[in-house]
Amino acid sequence: MLDSKPLLLETDFPPIARRHLSTVQVNLGYRCNQSCVHCHVDAGPKRREEMNAETMEQVLAFLKHSGAETLDITGGAPELNAVFRPLVEAARALGVHVMDRCNLTILTEPGQEDLAEFLAAHRVEIIASLPCYLEDNVDGQRGKGVFDGSIHGLRQLNALGYGADDAESTGLLLNLVYNPVDAVLPPPQCALEADYKRELHERYGIRFSRLLTLANMPIQRFGGWLLSTGRFDDYMRLLKGAHRDENLDAVMCRDLISIDWQGYVYDCDFNQMLGLPLGAAAGERRHISELSDASGLTGVGIRVGEHCFGCTAGQGSSCGGALS
């Protein structure tokens, strides 16, 4: 696979610094039951990198004293890791809100038959990838049969109360994620959410809480695809031309740290995939076990690159969807 990293390191992206830490994002590993074209992690069934129990305990030790309100669990398919459920249980016992970035088809994998019930019992917010409400588009981006599996998973979650009108009060929030199927920016989030809600309800009886639109990042598998098709430069011109300074205040890295499966810390999940350590200056990676709390992170400069324009282009893009 062609590597876009060397093209992203030299940048004129504006300098930004950290604020109070509110979210700890943890990548439990790169093993996944899918291999999506847009994946910035390059996850798939053949990947074997996974967090172990010792690193999980180090993450929990930091989380306990960090002051962060949210634990955002991602992968790969994080649910495939043996530490996923103990991590959820321990974080909820600390009073921390937990989000699971779920691909929906994992809910029907062998050995995961009770996963939906587990998530509901612990009031885990679900961030579920569904790049379209049309079968052909989803299967084209994520693999044959993924759409049917996703609809089955959504129905499981709906039956447990996820996505209902009272989801804010019950904690059973079900948010869907849209990624473009091409080298374009996502459409306006509010209008697309209305389309998703209408089409999924009319066609399948599905309900959900919110739609989050994310721009595709020019790194890992998607970055390699851009390079192999000769579209990398055009996509970067698109992102930089659509940059909006007002989005800088809301980019996720200002309030979040990202921890990889080995316990090393980064400014965001995208920097993690590029191997760019925490902080504006290049240097040695810092391990989560070296951070007793988050007190030394506030005000520290964030490591930026050309890919950061993916977060500030147009309506903006983050793990929580559009910024404006």
Distance CA 84, CA 56 (A): 9
**What range defines the domain where residue 204 resides?**
5-312
Q: What is the pLDDT of residue 128?
A: 94
Q: Does residue 276 lie in a domain region?
A: yes
Q: What is the pLDDT of residue 165?
A: 95
- If 0-12 CB within 10 Å is exposed, 13-18 middle and 19+ buried, where does residue 283 land? exposed
Query: Residue with structure tokens 């609809």?
Result: 151
Distance CA 126, CA 36 (A): 19
Q: Does residue 319 lie in a domain region?
A: no
Q: Does residue 322 lie in a domain region?
A: no
Which CATH number do you get for residue 166?
3.20.20
Q: Does residue 323 lie in a domain region?
A: no
Q: Of the candidates 116, 59, 100, which has an alpha carbon nearest to the alpha carbon of residue 259? A: 59
Structural domains counted in the chain: 1
Q: Using the Cα atoms of residue 314, residue 316, residue 317 and residue 320 in order, give the sign of their dihedral.
A: negative
Q: Does residue 320 lie in a domain region?
A: no
Angle CA 165–106–195, to nearest 5:
40
Digitized pLDDT (tens) for each residue of the chain, 324 residues in all: 688 999 999 999 999 999 999 999 999 998 876 555 555 666 566 777 899 999 999 999 999 999 999 999 998 889 999 999 999 999 999 999 999 999 999 998 889 999 999 999 999 999 998 888 877 777 666 667 788 989 999 999 999 999 999 999 999 999 999 988 789 999 999 999 999 999 999 999 999 999 999 999 999 888 888 999 999 999 999 999 999 999 999 999 999 999 999 999 999 999 998 999 998 665 678 999 999 889 899 999 999 999 999 999 999 988 788 887
Tokens of 5: 């990293």
Regarding beta strands 286-287 and 174-178, do their DSSP bridges make them parallel or antiparallel, or are they unpaired?
unpaired
DSSP assignment of 178-241: E--SSSSPPPPHHHHHHHHHHHHHHHH----SEEEE-PPPSSHHHHHHHHHTT-HHHHHHHHHH
Residues 6+ apart with CB under 8 A from 142: 34, 36, 37, 129, 131
> 76, 102 in Cβ contact below 8 A?
no
**H or E element: which one contains 59?**
helix 53-66
**H or E element: which one contains 146?**
helix 146-159
Q: What is the pLDDT of residue 35?
A: 57
Q: What's the whole-model pTM score? A: 0.94
Residues 6+ apart with CB under 8 A from 51: 26, 27, 28, 29, 59, 81, 83, 261, 262, 263
Q: Does residue 27 lie in a domain region?
A: yes
Helix, coil or strand: residue 8:
coil
Distance CA 155, CA 209 (A): 14
Q: Does residue 125 lie in a domain region?
A: yes
Distance CA 43, CA 271 (A): 16
Q: What is the pLDDT of residue 134?
A: 79
Q: What is the pLDDT of residue 222?
A: 87
Which residue type, as a one-letter code, is found at position 33? N
> 318, 252 in Cβ contact below 8 A?
yes
User: What's 173's DSSP letter?
Assistant: -
Q: Does residue 142 lie in a domain region?
A: yes
